[in-house]
Structure 1
Amino acid sequence: MESKPSYAELEQRVKELENELQTKEQFFNNILNQIPDIIFVKDDSHRWVMLNEASCNLLGHPRDQLIGKTDYDFHSKEQADVFWEKDNEVLYSESLTVNEELITNAQGVVRTILTKKSVFKDDNGNKFIVGISHDITEKKQAEQALADSQRRLADIIEFLPDPTCVIDIEGRVVAWNRAMEKLSGIKKEEILGKGDYAYSVPFYGEPRPTLIDLVLKPDRDYEKQYLSIKEINGDLFASVAFSSSLGIDGRYFEGTAGKLYDSEGNVVGAIETVRDITAMKRAEQERERLISELQDALANVRTLKGLLPICSACKKIRDDKGYWTRIEAYIKRHAEVDFSHSLCPECAEKLYGHEDWFKKREDKPKK
């Protein structure tokens, strides 16, 4: 039969257990204090019963000055009210809550934290709020900077003078600026988010790939439908295309399109701008027509160069086939000019000089 341990032995065992517990507690506290996130425990009266080193650094006070105190002792009433409300929410629901909160640190700088809270019950049924907060200030600032950048980019696209369209990698419209609205007659509210080549209908009368699609996925069959198309710097295309769906006689457009990349270099979409060059193309066509007509006229005029056989008496001209033709008919045929007939002073005097009416006329031809 084993003998009962003596008082001294029991006292020694208690000390060993206390040392073991203290060692484990110290080990646990060291782990908590090494965690850069804010970790805290509150009782059901919102008093701190445990805080790690990150919590103390945020508040700017040693731990012994914080234990037993509440948020109202160190934060503004506005911030403390929010923390108190969120604490009650988790106490009453006894479920995990996640909230973004604003907190002012010891330096007076407002930080944004993401806080997760849950309820722990001890063996006596006492409730404790266990929370961990991660500082997301830099992340929120980066998100805001990105949002600001995207908004500025959207504003730039919106007010570009040239009609501009942007699609994502799935071919859905994500930007449709004012100039594009005016050109196509379609409001952005009617087209944003749509895919399946909906943006091509105003120009071609049917959904089909356009220049912006050819940037992402080349298609030689469709490329042939453009008047000209070329590649610049590996991924930028330029072309001149004719649209029969816009205007009474159709419109000519010059377009440029390029790929859009994210920060990691992945293709995320494409952008296209178009410019109405109908007036310029019509002017070019009119100029070419006039040049052609002028060239034809010059070619006809050149046929009058050389030696022309002409009758000394009647002034008829012999053509290449040997026929005699009146001089005015010959010149009209080869130079596209018309004649009007009259009498020079010498001929008028010769023919009618002996007539009284001719002698008396005031508008007789001058010699």
Structure 2
Amino acid sequence: MIKNSKILIVDDEPRLCDSLKTLLCAQNYDVKTCNSGNEALPFLASNKFDLVLLDIFMEGMDGFQVIENIVNQKIDIPFIIITGNASIEFAVKALRMGANDYLKKPFESKELFSSVKNTLNLRKLKKENELMTRKLNESAQLFRDLTESTSDWVWEVDLKGVYIYSSPKVKEFLGYEPEELIGKTPFDLMQVDEAKQVFDLFNTALSSQSPFDSIENVNIHKNGSHVVMETSGVPIFNNEGELFGYRGIDRNITDRKQIEEELRNSELKHKALVKNIPGMVYRAYPDWSAEVISDSEVLCGYTEKELNTKNKNWLSIIHHDDIESVFENGSELTRIQKNLVQRYRIHTKEGDIRWVEDRKTSVFSEKGDFLGIDGIVFDITDSKQAEEGRERILKKLQEALDNVKTLSGLLPICSQCKKIRDDKGYWNQLEAHIQKHSYAKFSHGICPECSDELYGDEDWYIKMKKKKE
């Protein structure tokens, strides 16, 4: 029983109105009464009732006229006709005009209660149905609004994969009107190999009644071009919990795939370019960490992977005598944008010490924020050793030049004994002084004048000279 329902009794017999009111109030209904049609109409217009008990034959405005006014004023209310006429004709007329039931006087209270209860229950079901219908319509409208406004193509398929719904977005994606796809399958829009692969994935999901996500597939546009789609779907069930299809979305990722392909090609070119650089490429970050990008193994024996860990990095293999200058140069690069070339030593994995030349430049954002240092490190050990060798040779040459024995300037010589005074004040024999300060050597002999003076009176000398003559 629907308690507290509001009921209006309209009858020109006050005693009957009071009796019916007493009976219905005892059933916890809220009951009002009117004794004429003219009185009832404004009462109905200004109050909300759940049911009207209406006598057909009343003085002035009869029940049919009241029904006609209720219908014309579009007052949504059920009513039960009360008639004392034995003719069924009046009851049929009232039912055709919209009455829900009729009671023929005299009637039992059980009949009254049953008719009232059934009519109120019917009204309740009608209201619930209207509410449900309105919600369904609102939900359907919301679904249509969402599917038509979303950037994705929304679809539904049955258990065979046949389209039973398609949003208008398919026109933009594949060139088809939604109606053209109803009855087709996704596999009809693919090449044979692609269709087989996607069909197998769909059947796998179908057999386990599970969703599927981000399946990439190539569809054929109505104009024959290829469109790359990303497909996701979820199973849909009926009220009995039985699977009857899938609902999902397709996203056009053709542009994204083209960009990915361009990036992939660009990355390959970049890697090839970096690989061909005869040095180790790196980037250092504001926290002083460094990412080694290429060719570290050739330079120092450590792979890029080994040098990109917490325990081992590029800074950790720089010679301890050089690390301070590396930090100083790095600090300078964090403040201003500039290029630097620095030479320092590193420890290789094999324990050797190598000389490297680090050509680096600082990188800043458009806002002026320091982003890091990009650099290329070259092994210059051989050239450094050659340079040091050249320096040793030059040093030796300089020392040799410094020790070259030359005679120049004014030499003090004794006019009598012909001795020469050195820069320390000592008098030395002429030949000894010359030998010391030049590369000249002496071989001793005698000139003709001295020979004549010394040996001119000797017979052997006179005979030797005559032979020469």
Give me the TM-score of the superposition, normalised by structure 2: 0.58
Instruction: Determine if contact 2:322/2:345 at 8 Å carries over to the other structure.
Output: no
* Superposition pairs of residues 296-335 of structure 1, within 5 angstroms: 296-297=402-403, 301=406, 304-335=407-438
2:244 paired with 1:140: no
- Residues 54, 267 of structure 1: alpha-carbon distance in 2 compared, 3 angstrom cutoff: same
Structure 2 match to 1:127: 244
Instruction: Determine if contact 2:360/2:374 at 8 Å carries over to the other structure.
Output: yes
2:193 paired with 1:78: yes
Of 281, 284, 292, the match for 1:174? 292
* Letter aligned with residue 409 of structure 2: G
Larger RCO of the pair (alpha carbons < 8 Å, separation 6+):
1
2:441 paired with 1:339: yes
* Superposition pairs of residues 22-101 of structure 1, within 5 angstroms: 25-26=140-141, 28-101=143-216
SS of equivalent residue, structure 1 residue 310: coil
Structure 1 range deviating more: 340-349 or 73-82? 340-349
Shift of residue 256, structure 1, vs aligned partner: 1.1
Structure 1 match to 2:384: 278
Structure 1 match to 2:228: 112
* Letter aligned with residue 173 of structure 2: L
SS of equivalent residue, structure 2 residue 331: coil
Structure 2 match to 1:237: 340
- Residues 65, 157 of structure 1: alpha-carbon distance in 2 compared, 3 angstrom cutoff: closer
State percent identity of aligned pairs.
21
- Residues 54, 66 of structure 1: alpha-carbon distance in 2 compared, 3 angstrom cutoff: same
Shift of residue 136, structure 1, vs aligned partner: 2.4
Instruction: Determine if contact 2:156/2:165 at 8 Å carries over to the other structure.
Output: yes
Structure 1 range deviating more: 192-201 or 281-290? 192-201
SS of equivalent residue, structure 2 residue 193: helix
Once residues 350 and 450 of structure 2 are traced to their aligned partners in structure 1, the CA distance between those partners, rounded to angstroms, is 61
Structure 1 match to 2:395: 289
Shift of residue 275, structure 1, vs aligned partner: 4.5
- Residues 249, 267 of structure 1: alpha-carbon distance in 2 compared, 3 angstrom cutoff: closer
Aligned length: 341
SS of equivalent residue, structure 1 residue 256: strand
Shift of residue 345, structure 1, vs aligned partner: 5.9
SS of equivalent residue, structure 1 residue 107: coil
Shift of residue 44, structure 1, vs aligned partner: 1.4
- Residues 249, 202 of structure 1: alpha-carbon distance in 2 compared, 3 angstrom cutoff: closer
Instruction: Determine if contact 2:158/2:244 at 8 Å carries over to the other structure.
Output: yes
Once residues 445 and 195 of structure 2 are traced to their aligned partners in structure 1, the CA distance between those partners, rounded to angstroms, is 115
Once residues 391 and 322 of structure 2 are traced to their aligned partners in structure 1, the CA distance between those partners, rounded to angstroms, is 28
Once residues 246 and 352 of structure 1 are traced to their aligned partners in structure 2, the CA distance between those partners, rounded to angstroms, is 85
Once residues 464 and 298 of structure 2 are traced to their aligned partners in structure 1, the CA distance between those partners, rounded to angstroms, is 73
Instruction: Determine if contact 1:173/1:195 at 8 Å carries over to the other structure.
Output: no
Shift of residue 40, structure 1, vs aligned partner: 0.9
SS of equivalent residue, structure 1 residue 218: helix
* Letter aligned with residue 186 of structure 2: D
Unpaired segments ≥5 residues, structure 2: 1-6, 8-50, 53-77, 80-94, 101-125
* Letter aligned with residue 388 of structure 2: R
Once residues 203 and 241 of structure 1 are traced to their aligned partners in structure 2, the CA distance between those partners, rounded to angstroms, is 8
Instruction: Determine if contact 1:90/1:118 at 8 Å carries over to the other structure.
Output: no
Shift of residue 248, structure 1, vs aligned partner: 12
Structure 1 match to 2:331: 218
Residues 12-33 of structure 1 show CA distances to partners (whole Å, capped at 9, x for unaligned) of 9999997986676355324312
The RMSD of aligned alpha carbons is 4.6
- Residues 262, 156 of structure 1: alpha-carbon distance in 2 compared, 3 angstrom cutoff: farther
* Letter aligned with residue 289 of structure 2: G
Instruction: Determine if contact 1:212/1:271 at 8 Å carries over to the other structure.
Output: no
Unpaired segments ≥5 residues, structure 1: 220-229
Once residues 31 and 140 of structure 1 are traced to their aligned partners in structure 2, the CA distance between those partners, rounded to angstroms, is 26
Once residues 256 and 40 of structure 1 are traced to their aligned partners in structure 2, the CA distance between those partners, rounded to angstroms, is 58
Shift of residue 145, structure 1, vs aligned partner: 2.5
Rg: which structure is higher?
2
